[in-house]
Amino acid sequence: MGELFAAHGVSATIVEPEPGSDNAAIARQAADEHLDVMVAGGGDGTLDAIASAIVCKKDFRFGVLPIGTLNHFARDADIPKDIALAVRNSVVGYTRARGCGRGQWAYISEQLKR
């Protein structure tokens, strides 16, 4: 995965959590670093956990690598299925507006269609 980022001149720190890890806690810890972009790979559940933990609270781009089973979030946001293209979009700054809100129990992040 690192070589996909390096191809765009980006030095990336790759974190691969162990199965059963608290992805939200890992994302919050990473978000405390100075970031321009946080990129998360996974399916809807993983992306929801990470987005709920950090997206509404921090000011940086959030990239998505659609490597889950159904990838509804990625499809709704028109994120390419091809991982190399998804990395490129995250790195070069292809962005979409996002809306964030606080529900009764959790943060909600919604990619907005153009």
**pLDDT digits over 9-29, tens only?**
998 999 999 989 999 999 998
In this prediction, residue 98 carries a pLDDT of: 62
Angle of helix 23-31 relative to helix 44-54, nearest 10 degrees, comes to 40
Residue 39's Cα: distance from chain center in Å? 4
Total-model pTM: 0.78
Q: Please, which pLDDT band fits residue 105 given cuts at 50, 70 and 90?
A: very low
Q: In the predicted model, is pLDDT for residue 7 greater than 90?
A: yes
Write out pLDDT tens, residues 79-104: 999 999 999 998 887 766 666 665 55
| Fold held by 2-111 | Rossmann fold (3.40.50)
Instruction: Locate the domains of the chain by residue range.
Output: 2-111
